[in-house]
Amino acid sequence: MTNDILERFTFENKPLRGEYVHLQTSIQAILSQHPYSQPMKRLLAESLAIVSLLSAMIKLNGRITLQFQGKNGFKFLLAQANSKHEIRGLIKHEKEGATLSYDQIIHLMKEGLLVVMLELDEHPGNPYQGIVEWRGESLTEAIEAYFENSEQLLTRIWLHFDAEKHTISGCMLQALPTQDNQINIDFFKIAQQLEKTWYQHDDFSHAKSLLTAACPEDDIQLFLPIAMRFKCTCSKNHSEQAIRLLGQIETEDEIKKNGTIVVTCEFCAERYQFDRIDVAAIFKLDDSSDTIH
Distance of CA 54 to the CA centre of its chain: 9
- Tell me the pTM: 0.85
Listed range (9-13, 31-35, 191-195, 234-238) with the worst mean pLDDT: 234-238
- In this structure, whether the domain defined by 5-230 belongs to CATH 3.55.30.10 is answered with yes
Give the residue range(s) of CATH 3.90.1280.10 domains in the chain: 236-282
Q: Where are the alpha helices (DSSP H) in 32-166?
A: 38-55, 102-111, 139-150
Q: What is the pLDDT of residues 127-140, one digit of tens each?
A: 888 999 888 889 99
Average model confidence (pLDDT) for the chain?
A: 88
What contacts 24+ positions apart, CB below 8 Å, involve 204-212?
204/22, 204/160, 204/162, 204/167, 204/169, 205/3, 205/22, 205/169, 206/5, 206/7, 206/20, 206/22, 207/7, 207/9, 207/20, 207/171, 210/20, 210/171, 211/9
Residues 76/91, Cβ–Cβ less than 8 Å: yes
Query: Per residue in 35-86, pLDDT tens?
Result: 999 999 999 999 999 999 999 887 778 899 999 999 888 999 999 999 999 9
Note the maximum CA span of the chain: 78
User: Is 236-282 a domain of CATH 3.90.1280.10?
Assistant: yes
Answer for the pair 100, 36: CB distance below 8 angstroms, yes or no: no
Question: Where exactly does CATH 3.55.30.10 map onto the chain?
Answer: 5-230
